């Protein structure tokens, strides 16, 4: 995949080829445990690395934390009812590892497991398919104290976590993903210091990449063994990595960012090799037989996509690039993220060619700093424009042959947006954090209509 690219297909697109989505195309919404659950000190939950990180002064906008978040732990029934009203066919959520294994390993926490039991049952009775992600960044703090992802043992602890989830939910849940965006949490956590554990150390960073890959392969084996009829995947953020300037040095920097951002996980997991440009950096952690352990067959590739990413040359950077903002003239969302649906279409086509797997878009959406009117309503036309342009780009990719089988909006609810805290809202449903009232935004109604129109066509 060369994600350092220019659009490979140019408009105008033949409209007759649009709306080719499969009749069984999956329309869903996504969330993650730390971002919505709250109940951080309840039901026997252990601490995660994010609980502690949020308490470090200056880390999170306004000093926000996920302690309460959307209180989904208590309000999940209402949230499932909302999804049912929207007509979504699938809900992708993550399991909080410290909620079910407070110390990360050892004794399970029954109250935590029962929460996910109830959630799964309530989804199934609403006719919504649960899509479970085993890890969306909230590592148990106890495991961080044992070295976190820099410790090879963490791969085995993750496989045990996978075994617990599979054995308790695998009778009803069939769709499992291992990790959400491993390149983001390793790069931001072990190289840039923006996310926990906030270290910047080359050896730990490359060890973390490798151990997460190993954990992925081990968990895939466990899930295959324990879940009859499992449909397994991995979720990767894939975005074109572009040079911010036109010098050869900036272009080389963009190629390195492409390696770390798009390929350091997807290539070993789905092709059995590390990209050449980083292979020597992985050798200290990679033992004989590891690539076979990592390269286990999966059934689908989950792609999260929002915007292109940019690199610039920086001779002081040990990674071979520095992170850069998009060029000043880029079209942007209200929170400054570049809007470029062409890039999305090309990523889907490239990923389909490179990995040869069915694709589900497991996250896509638009962030905003929004105000509601007195009734709590939000007329989020910009989000509707974004979603509609990106879904059209997806349709174009399908029309040009990409095997894309589903799309999940990020996110069902406004939620805790990591370093931005509650200031950036990605939900199609507004959350009033003072009262926890949920109000579907205009985009929720638009999405519901889009789903209904596809269903009507598919069943006509
Ligand atoms: C993705 C994360 C998700 C959310 C969106 C906006 O990178 O997977 O948790 O924060 O960005």
Establish whether residue 410 lines the binding site of ligand 1, counting it when its CB lies within 6 angstroms of any ligand atom: yes
329, part of any domain:
yes
How many angstroms separate the CA atoms of 357 and 232, rounded? 11
Shortest-distance Cα residue to atom 10 of ligand 1: 417
Range of the domain at 393: 18-459
Asked whether residue 323 carries a pLDDT value surpassing 70, the answer given is yes
Atom of ligand 1 nearest to the CA of 417: 10
Q: Are strands 241-243 and 309-312 parallel, antiparallel or unpaired?
A: parallel
1, part of any domain:
no
Confidence of residue 394 (pLDDT cuts 50, 70, 90): very high
Count CA atoms closer than 13 A to 2's CA, side-chain side.
Answer: 8
pTM of model > 0.85: yes
Question: What pLDDT, in 10s, does the model give residues 252-310?
Answer: 999 999 999 999 999 999 999 999 999 999 999 999 999 999 999 999 999 999 999 99
C-alpha of residue 243 to centroid of ligand 1, in Å: 23
7, part of any domain:
no
Establish whether residue 64 lines the binding site of ligand 1, counting it when its CB lies within 6 angstroms of any ligand atom: no
341, part of any domain:
yes
How many angstroms separate the CA atoms of 399 and 352, rounded? 13
Q: Are strands 231-237 and 300-304 parallel, antiparallel or unpaired?
A: parallel
Could you count the other beta carbons within 10 Å of the beta carbon of residue 143? 25
C-alpha of residue 107 to centroid of ligand 1, in Å: 30
How many angstroms separate the CA atoms of 184 and 28, rounded? 23
438, part of any domain:
yes
Specify the number of domains making up the chain.
1
**16 secondary structure, DSSP code:** G
331, part of any domain:
yes
Query: Which residues have a Cβ under 8 Å from the Cβ of 148 and sit 6 or more positions away?
Result: 49, 139, 154, 197, 208
Give me the sign of the Cα torsion angle 43, 46, 49, 52. Answer: positive
The residue with greater pLDDT, 8 or 368, is 368
Establish whether residue 362 lines the binding site of ligand 1, counting it when its CB lies within 6 angstroms of any ligand atom: no
How many angstroms separate the CA atoms of 191 and 1, rounded? 24
Asked whether residue 16 carries a pLDDT value surpassing 70, the answer given is no
How many angstroms separate the CA atoms of 460 and 261, rounded? 42
How many angstroms separate the CA atoms of 398 and 216, rounded? 28
3-state class (DSSP) for residue 13: coil
Establish whether residue 426 lines the binding site of ligand 1, counting it when its CB lies within 6 angstroms of any ligand atom: yes
Establish whether residue 177 lines the binding site of ligand 1, counting it when its CB lies within 6 angstroms of any ligand atom: no
Beta strands in 313-419 (DSSP E): 322-324, 359-363, 404-410
Question: What pLDDT, in 10s, does the model give residues 125-155?
Answer: 999 999 999 999 999 999 999 999 999 999 9
Locate 409 and state its tokens.
């909006």
Q: So what's the pLDDT on residue 460?
A: 81
Could you count the other beta carbons within 10 Å of the beta carbon of residue 87? 17
Atom of ligand 1 nearest to the CA of 365: 6
Shortest-distance Cα residue to atom 4 of ligand 1: 417
Q: So what's the pLDDT on residue 20?
A: 74
44, part of any domain:
yes
Shortest-distance Cα residue to atom 9 of ligand 1: 32
Q: Are strands 322-324 and 309-312 parallel, antiparallel or unpaired?
A: antiparallel
Establish whether residue 149 lines the binding site of ligand 1, counting it when its CB lies within 6 angstroms of any ligand atom: no
Asked whether residue 18 carries a pLDDT value surpassing 70, the answer given is no
- Which sequence positions are flagged as catalytic? 181, 363
CATH number of the domain that residue 209 is part of:
3.20.20.80
Average pLDDT value for residue range 212-220: 99
10, part of any domain:
no
């Amino acid at each position: 995949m060369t994600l350092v690219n220019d659009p490979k297909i140019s408009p105008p697109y033949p409209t007759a080829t649009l709306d080719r989505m499969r009749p069984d195309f999956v329309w869903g919404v996504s969330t993650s445990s730390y971002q919505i659950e709250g109940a951080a000190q309840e039901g026997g939950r252990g601490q995660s690395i994010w609980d502690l990180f949020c308490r470090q002064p200056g880390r999170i906008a306004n000093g926000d934390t996920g302690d309460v978040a959307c209180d989904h732990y208590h309000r999940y029934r209402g949230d499932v009812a909302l999804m049912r009203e929207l007509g979504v066919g699938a809900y992708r959520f993550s399991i909080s590892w410290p909620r079910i294994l407070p110390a990360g390993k050892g004794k399970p926490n029954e109250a935590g497991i029962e929460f996910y039991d109830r959630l799964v049952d309530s989804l199934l009775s609403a006719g919504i398919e649960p899509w479970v992600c085993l890890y969306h960044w909230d590592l148990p703090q106890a495991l961080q104290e044992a070295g976190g992802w820099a410790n090879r043992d963490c791969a085995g602890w993750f496989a045990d976590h996978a075994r617990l989830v599979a054995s308790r939910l695998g009778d009803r849940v069939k769709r499992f993903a291992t990790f959400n965006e491993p390149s983001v949490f390793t790069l931001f956590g072990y190289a840039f210091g923006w996310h926990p554990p906030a270290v910047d150390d080359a050896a730990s960073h490359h060890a973390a990449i490798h151990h997460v890959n190993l954990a992925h392969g081990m968990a895939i084996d466990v899930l295959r063994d324990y879940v009859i009829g499992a449909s397994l995947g991995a979720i990767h953020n894939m975005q074109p990595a572009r040079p911010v300037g036109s010098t050869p040095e900036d272009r080389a920097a963009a190629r390195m960012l492409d390696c770390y951002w798009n390929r350091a996980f997807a290539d070993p997991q789905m092709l059995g090799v590390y990209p050449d440009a980083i292979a020597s950096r992985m050798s200290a952690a990679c033992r004989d037989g590891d690539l076979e352990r990592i390269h286990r067959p999966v059934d689908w590739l989950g792609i999260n996509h929002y915007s292109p990413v940019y690199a610039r040359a920086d001779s002081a950077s040990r990674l071979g690039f520095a992170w850069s903002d998009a060029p000043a003239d880029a079209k942007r969302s209200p929170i400054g993220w570049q809007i470029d649906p062409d890039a999305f279409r090309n990523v889907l086509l490239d990923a389909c060619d490179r990995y040869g797997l069915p694709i589900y878009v497991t996250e896509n959406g638009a962030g905003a700093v929004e105000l509601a009117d007195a009734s709590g309503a939000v007329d989020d036309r910009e989000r509707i424009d974004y979603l509609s342009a990106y879904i059209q780009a997806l349709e174009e990719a399908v029309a040009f042959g990409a095997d894309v089988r589903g799309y999940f909006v990020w996110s069902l609810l406004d939620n805790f947006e990591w370093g931005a805290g509650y200031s950036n809202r990605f939900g199609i449903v507004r959350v009033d954090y003072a009262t926890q009232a949920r109000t579907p935004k205009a985009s929720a109604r638009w999405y519901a209509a889009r789903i209904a129109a596809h269903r009507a066509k598919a069943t006509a």
